[in-house]
Amino acid sequence: MAEEKTAEKKKSAFSGIIEKLKKVKHIEYYIIGVFAVIAIALTLGNFSFASGDGNPKQASNLFEYAKEQEARLEKALSQISGCGKVKVMITYSSGFEIVPAFSTDKTENKQDSGSGYTANITERTTLVMSGGKPLILKEIEPQVKGVVVIAQGAGNYNVKINLYKAVAALLKIDNSNIEIFTMK
């Protein structure tokens, strides 16, 4: 008996909600909007970022990626003879860039209009999906804008030159985008 009353209350509450929704003007537009937002969120949530070692893995943001790259660079630079303790800061001019695959369908309709042929070309581009996720052609890592290196041994000219060379080689950037300072 109690179960019947509970079921009846739920049915009554549900029918009350339906009646209220019926009174909302153009509710179908709201429903379509909600589904569109959900679809976009699901599509964007399936993209992944590249890690520093080239293996795709989820990176929460550029800050996490930068910290990982800085740690790797600090480890490499600290191995330079006479360098000592090293701290590194890397800035980026852009974030991750993901290039998805697209499929393009082109249709051409030719019609004879009496005075000559007219062509109507229609082009349709769609995102290529693989296993429910967008197919990614390539993942481009963020572009390095500048690097600051603070090292114990940077007061030595030869160590400083070696630090410049190492940073330029590892990050593929020009020396003008690298600053090296002596640690206090």
- C-beta of residue 70 within 8 angstroms of C-beta of residue 88: yes
Q: Residue 181: what pLDDT? A: 95
Task: Say what the pTM is.
Answer: 0.53
Percent share of the chain, pLDDT over 90:
34
State yes or no: pLDDT of 1 exceeds 80. Answer: no
CA distance 81 to 98: 39
pLDDT (tens digit, 9 = 90+) per residue, 6-39?
A: 656 656 666 766 666 666 666 666 666 666 666 6
Which of 72, 33, 82, 65 is CA-nearest to residue 143?
A: 65
Q: Residue 98: what pLDDT? A: 84
Q: Residue 159: what pLDDT? A: 93
Question: What structural domains does the chain harbor?
Answer: 2-45 (no CATH), 51-96+141-182 (3.30.300.30), 104-136 (no CATH)
- For 131, counting Cβ atoms within 10 Å of its Cβ (0-12 exposed, 13-18 middle, 19+ buried), the class is exposed
- In this structure, what token pair is assigned to residue 12? 């009554």
Q: Which residue has the higher pLDDT, 162 or 7?
A: 162
